[in-house]
Structure 1
Amino acid sequence: MKLLQKLLLINWHYIERELIEFSGINFLTGKNASGKSTIIDALQLLFLGDTSGNFFNKAANDYSQRTLKGYLRGEVADDGGTGFIYLRDGVFSSYIVAEFFDTIKKKSFCFGVVFDVYGEDNPTHKFFLLEAPLPEHQFILNNTPMDYHTLRNHLNSTGKIKYQFFDSNRSYRESFLGKMGGLNNKFFTLFKKAVPFSPIMDIEKFICEFVCDVSNRIDISDMQANIRHYKQLELEAGFVKERIERLTVISAKYQDYLIEKGRLLQQSYLMDRAQLQESVDRIDALREAIRQNNEKMVSLAAQLEKKEQEIKKLDEKRDRLLKEKFESDLYKKTESLKKQLDDLTAQLKQLDGVRQGLADLITRTGNTWKKALKDYAKHIAPEKAHAYASLQREAADLSGIKPDGLICPETQRELDAERLQEIRSQMKAFRNEVDALYFDTRSRLEAARKRATELASEIANLKKGIKPYDAKLLELRREIKNKLQQQYGQEVPVEIFCELIEVRDKRWQDALEGYLHTQKFYLLVPPEYFVAALKVYDRLKFERQFYDIGLVDIGKLQELNPKVKKGSLAEEVVTDNPYARVFADYLLGRVIKCERVEDLRQYRTAITPTGMLYHNFTARQINPDRWKVPYIGKQAVKKQIEIKEQELAGLNQEIRKGEFRFEVLEGLKEIDPLGDDTIAHITGSLQQLRTYQDLVGERRQVQEALERIDLSYLEKLDREIEEVEKRRTAVEEQREQLKRENNKLEYENNAIREEKIPAEESRRADCKQRIDEKYDAGWIRETGEPRFLKEMEKRGSPRKIIEAFHSQLERTKNQAERKWQELVRARSDYNRDYKMSYDINLPENTPFDEELTELRDTHLAEYEAKIKDAREKAQKQFQEDFISKLKQNIDTVRGQIEELNDALKNVAFGRESYRFEIKPNPNYKRFYDMITDSMLLEGYNLFSQAFQAKHRDAIDELFKQIVDVGEGDLSADQRAELERNIEKFTDYRTYLQFDLISKDESGRESRLSKTITKKSGGETQTPFYISVLASFVRVYRLQQRYRNKNNTLRLIVFDEAFNKMDHQRIQESIKLLRSFGLQAVICAPTEKIGDIAPLVDRTLCVTRLNNITVVRAFDPRKLEDEDELPERYHQPAAR
């Protein structure tokens, strides 16, 4: 066996360094909060390999807040806020190390863990194994616990101890289980559950988990795979049958389509053949039309010849009459007068054009200048309008000229060249005035726009807090700041005086602004930087043209310490800047405020709110421009914005007026005075118009002479000529009509020969070719042509056949198309559903018919054979892999319970004895009976007729619950239900019930499952105690007879397990521990010393003195008062 010998704790909560020795049965006691649980938690951390701290102090409180950090740093209290007070700070290391002794191999070994703590950071740790007893140095080097790296180097340097550090908690736990005798993982759960000895409310679950050592669940994945294969075969066979049905439907649809296709073929042939016959008939009709047209053309030729002779006779008569007319004297005289009249009319028409054009030019010029002078007088210079009164009259006269007036001699004399030159001179004078005003207005407008832009920019800057200081002032300020920062390595304030001060009473704002004038823009720097700033100023003054900018020597002013007179202007200056204060006092401290000008003479220097200044016996008014734009105080920016916005508004109004004025002047500037060409044109045109009246008189005389001639003879000739012309025109029209008729007939014949007959012959050839291509010659001979001849005999003409079958053909086409689409859809659905790639538009049905034959005659039979074989294999596996293993687990558990009962049968706990009970679960009794039926051992199998007759319902139900479902079709909920069923029905515990039976001295038995909630604390702790011990017996394999099989750990740790037991039960419990050969650490308060200490091998007392916990072994029979331990009993638990 492997026994715990020693436990070393270094820097663990209140323990600085303690080495505790253990014996067989150990009693750990002490007052509450002395540190018992601290030691128990250290043991748990080491034995469980768990640094999470979830198990700390669970015996006292399920919701314990103890943490690993608190144990390592020694948490003692909270700090009143969100933190805690600790015993240990900084960097240190902690140890928990246990020494074990192997009684068979006679060797000691140690398991331990080292923690390295670095301030507030999370601690690091390493579990380790030493194949040796605890070293003499006990991990202390130079009075300091070694950290992990120091320990590793030390172990390497000595080379005497075989050791191992573990990279993870998991690898440590695996090594711990192996070193302790190959324990299984149940050890950790059982050990952790035993320590707090928490109540076992589900005895059945506890027995299954800790007492029985059998795998709870049988792996049926292979069986499920085989069943799925069997089901898959059934499913695939179903798919084959379904495909056969679908292919049969496709074959039927194909036959339906063939019937409609045949009907369509006959009807289509009738239509094509009728169209061919119609074409042949039309060619014959066209040739007959040519013959008839030729006959008509011969008759028309004779009629044309007769009309030509008649026209010739009429032409001879017309020519004779015209000769007689043209050779008469009367005709010649009349024609001469008409020519004169036409010439005079043409000359007058030309002069009318000149007259109208000239009138338009003169009136347009007059109207243009009238408007220009009106605009000038109204919008430009009303005060100067009288200077151009003469030009206004001339413009009015010109605008009133009418075309008829221009042929009047008086008007012609008034518009002579001299007057026109005078008008031009006046126009030029006006134009010069306009040009001057134009350029002046443009210049003013540009200046106003520029100022408006500047104002808008200044307003925008002011709204950003940027005052419109002079650019040179800001440039000098920036240079001084940059140089001072470079020189001194820090930013030095360079301020403008007006930015540092405020005005107390706004009535004196103007006076302050005006009096200070440019001094308000002086720069102020701290006294210690004045000389450096002055050097920068002096160096750049000429290069940058920094003139008239003040730099105030504050240091000198402070030495001067200027006095401020009562009532001075300095009182109106408010500032928290000491430099601005001393400068303001210096400048304004002697300037007295006066409300009335008559009071000014009372002082050497004084000023009124309106800026009347009295100084050196002289009074003068300060120019208001000095305060027009305020700079002093925070309100100065707001005031400046108001002033500039008002100025901008006025300026914008001025710009709008100027733009209108400029637009008018631009229009006036475009008007040109009369030019030399224009004047020459006007005088020349007037000269032409002076002959107008003479031409009118001359034309009147010619007209009168023409009217006096007797034209009766000529008129008689004209009437005869007209009659001949009318007759000739009528005959000529008759001739042309005959020609048109002849041409029409000739055109028709040409069209028939060259177009219609060739086109119809082409259509006939197309019809013939279409028939030859679409229809088999044998089919035409045997079926098509006989049907056509029959229809011709019945209906009489191709056209009637076409009319009869046109709509019927469409219906048959639609029906055939519908049948075809149904076939294609059925094929497409088949391809889609079964992932095939057959051509769905294939005219034949060959691939579908071939697959139908193959599936029906071959595949279906093969699947049915495979299904039978797979079903038999699945049934066999169901019996061998599931039922047999389930029975094996039930038999194994029964055997384990019987072994434990053998161990308990001679153990009496007071007047009671205990045994574990196992029996079938009545809810699953039919399954239990089937699983454990002896028939399976007598040669019967699960599906034998006799066995089936006895257990068919149970077999079917169980098969259904775990395998008899198609998992591929399950929903998420159904799959979860299946998993729950598998977990339940493959677990042997489903078919069994477990209990712990107690029997008193009278033979009365009681079940723990029934009495667990009715008995007192001590009564219920006993059966739990029995159950826990039985579980450890199973985990530690204490019933194994061979030493190499049960060379395991024997330790059990109970924290407060005996608190509610009486003396007799405690005595029996410890006796039971010894009978099983277990090592124990029992933790209980000092009230139990009298009951427990006499029964154990070693008693350890835990005491806390001055924030230090110590552990001492003592003899309780010599202890009189725990708080007054004699010095001789203050011996350490170990050295």
Structure 2
Amino acid sequence: MKLKKLILVNWGHLRSGEYPFGNMTLLTGPTGSGKSTILDAVQTVMTAVYQGIFSYNPGQEESSQGSRNGKSKRTIWSYVTGLEDNLFARPDGAHGYVVAVFAPDEGDKAEPFTAIIGAAAKIEGTGSKRQPVQERLSLVLVDGSECSFEDFAIQSERGMEVVPVEDIFRKLDIKYKEVINHRDNKREYLCQLYGRFRGMRAVSFPEASAAAKAWSQSIAVRPIGSVDELVKTQILEHDAEAQASQITEISRMMRNIHDLRKVGERLKNNIAKLGVIAEKLDGSTRAAEEIRMLSLYKARNSLQIDESAERDAELAVETAQEALETEVHKGELLVTAQANTAQAQVDLRARMQGVPALVQKTNIVQRADQAKIDSRTALNSLITGVVAAEKLIAVSRQVMATEFPHEVRALDDVASRISAAYGGCAGLSGGVNSELLRQLQQADSMDYGALRSSARLLQGADAQFGKLHAAFADGGGFVGVLHSQHALVNNAKQNAAIEEAKLTNRKKQLAGGLSDAPPRVYVSLTALQDGLPEAQAQLLCDLVEPQAGEWQRVIEGFMEDARFHVVVTPDFELSALEYCRTHRLPLKIIQGAMCLERTAAISLHPDSIVHELKSEHPVAHAYLHEQFGPVLKVAEEQQLKRTARGLTLQGSASSERKIFVINDLAGVKLVFGKEAKRVALERAKEEYQVVIEFIRKKDELLKTLEELLAIATSVTLPSFEQAETLERAAIALETCEVELSRLDLTELDGYADADKKLTEEFTELQLKISGSATHVGELRQVLKQHATQITQLKQYREKKIAEVDAERSRLSNFCLANQALSMRVMEEQIGTWIENHEWDYATLNIRINELSAESALAIADVYGLLVEYNTGAAADERLEATLRVPRVAAELEDYAQNLTLRSKVQEQLAAQKGIGIVKNLKEVTDSEQTFTNVFTGQFCMSVRESVDNGIKSLKALNNELAQLKFGTDKFAIDWSEWIPEYKEYYDFFVAAAQMSANEGGSLFADDTLSESHIKVRDRLRDILLQTDIESSKKEVLRIADYRNYRRYEIWKHSDIGSKIALSEWGTGSGGQLETPAYIIRAAVVTNRLKHFEKGMNLKFIVNDESFSKMDERRSLDVLKFLRDGLGMQFICAMPSRGAGPLKPEFTREWNFSRVESTGGGEVHYITEADERELRPDRLQELWEAHRKMKRTQAQIAFEESEAQ
């Protein structure tokens, strides 16, 4: 494409109109006449006055668009308002246009188009401070058409009427077919403008801006300066803006990884600190629980010791009473023996006196003595029998009066037998009792009538009491039934105790934040967690939270046992499987790695049931999506026919090509979410209380049964066999008494020796009687002491029972506060301690003091640990708790506060260890993978490819330069020298890209990179993590700029074989040095304009202040090089004085000059342009004749001077 014509409206001081251009156009005129003004107009179209690209009047070295030297600079607004010094040709503001019509070159298959820059400006300020400012800018392209001056302004009698900028698009759109309005979007305008030069709709902005900048910089040829910098900035293309955004993203990703790792470290530190806090709190709570148990042990043991002492005292009383009765009986026998001895002595003395009735008396006395012995023996036997009968009657009455619970209704039948047998025995209490018999036994004189009547009442009672005793003692009797019922009740209690243990564990499980999964599952899970802690095994149900709504129950019913599958760290899935197989654990391990891989490709249906569930755990989240994402919620059962996996709210479902109903939907135990756990815990508490109440009632019933067993087994069969013996003895005693009263004892006879012996016997018996009396006194004193002890113990019993109740209540409150405790189990443990005499009082008190100190120390430690933990924790991870070091050990308030804090600690542990650390690990892994992919696949490979491709572009340019010869000289670019620092980066990028291509290793793993590459990687990481983000970005941009990786040079080769680097060439003349500047910059701009690539391109350049240091020959060579070598359309601006020799090379000339004018506002002149069509052949003839004449004149002058 080439520039056909330029249309100017209100541009500087040039007349408004059309300016056509030829292939070689010369702009001449005196300095300041307007040559640069028209070049700036062309530059306006070519750069859209984009900041950093355009540079008005580039031939003026004192000022530029970006300079800050205080000199005024030309702007599009100053051109539109006609600014000259501080005067304005259009002081009221104006609308102006620069319009370029481009036409295809020969051989280009394209249509012409028009590029339009419309600008409206106004004047602001007063006096010398007036400045032209923007009002409106309009950028328009018209495809397939060549616009004319009349499209923008009309000359009339009133002068020139300019179309307002805001109306130009509408006007052109009416007239032409394809009009594109870019408004003031300079980027889009440039992209489409340079796209049309390439025969395309648009090119990228980096390409368009690079081409526009190169074209603009080629207008004024300045010294090359740094060759290295020239190649970097004007030959090699570099999209710094695109790289900046890429580097910002890489830096963000690196910082994100760094931050995630910090989060991971913080979570690990948090978990460690939480573990210590939990351990301290557990130690404090365990100490408090043990103190409460020891306190109850102390109270119960004290009460039990007193009860044992009371029982021992009562047993001692019973023993002493029996000993007393024995001793009294012994004394009585001694008294009887003494009386017999005395009587024998009397009888002896009587015989001695020769009394005839002595023999009779002796017989009678002997019979009476025997009768007395028989009566006492019979009384002892009958007293025992009556006592047994009285106890049997009392027990029978108690049994008959007892209302048995419905659980032991079998006792009612045997109680009826007892009641039936009891009727025949009840009369015994009306006539004979053990106390009456004891009184008869202990009386000084016997009541023979009472003895006979008592004996007669007891005769025949054996049969009745035998029946009553049989109701107790037979195999099917009361005692046997009691034993069987006791066994049944105890078995029920043991079953309830097992259930209570399960409920205790269930409460502990739920109170610890776990779900209501089956116990066998948690037992197996605990074994796996203990055996393989690094797998971080958790149940799926503990990681899922349902959304609010009514779908939870039916979803959980559909998922069934899948809720209890185990989630582990993906790297430990096979290890967990092997552990379960080895230890026979019935667990199913989720294939987390596979789920994570597949989840990315899953797009959930809006009706998926997974929308009703949420999980922060990556594996759990992926498993739900992969396994249950396809399950859809449907409104009607009819839809299930066409739904592969579906679910209705009523519990109907489809899956695996079958339709079914979820069994017992109402009975589905919910396990997802905190609310389900709360409800389950409340339900477990209620069930636990029911079981505890059941056990309590069974304990009471067992106690009743055991009491009944104790009394029932204590009854013996009464025996009244001695009743007849007692009656005969009573009759014999009464007969002997009558016979003795009838005897005449006048005849006595005795012997002195016998009398003496009897006297000695009497004395001996007297001594024994005295000893027996003393022993009786001692026994009665013992009885008195024991009675006093029993009285005292009974007085303290109520107080100690109250202490036991109080301690039991305290321990029970602990159990209510801590659902993991079981009151029954703890009391059983205390009972075991008491049975084994575990503690003595001294050791017990020491232990309680030790536990109190441990608890206080643990809470004091928790204070410091909490402060330390909260300092490093995030806001939602902090633990707020009010703790105090307990003044009194094991107070319920302190215990409850500890439990509350422990629960919060457990929640944080579950969140951070169970979910947070796993999620962080996945995020770090994913981020590292993403970073590695982006860094290696985009950044590293991009820089490496840019370095390589940059060389390719230089090679291509060298190939073109090799075809271009300027006189005897050729030029070539050299890039063989690496910059050492950048060579290290390049080698690292190659290694990183290779690692990425091999899909192995990690950029962050030291074992996959060499030592030198690790140093470079760490250096890059440190740069990316710098706190000064702008400095970091600037440094990475420097590294990412592939142009910096080599040192560049341009060599000049001559036909004579010389070779010199331009950076070192300082011996040539000014013209010689300016020549490569034209050649290299022409190569630069043609390179930017894709001149050497296939397809259409722009073949149009301009030059200002051309050939100022060159001679005629070199200037002509440059022109021929541009025109013939590059095939470029060339517009050249130079002063008129230097243009003559070059005119034969041009086909058109515009000559500019200033003329006075009265219609120029504050400026009193206007620039006129004189257009001339040039004939290069005639000009060539004229210049040859002129040269010949000049040579002749010079020769004549030389000869004349020589002749003189």
TM-score normalised by L of structure 2: 0.43
- Structure with the greater alpha carbon radius of gyration: 1
TM-score normalised by L of structure 1: 0.46
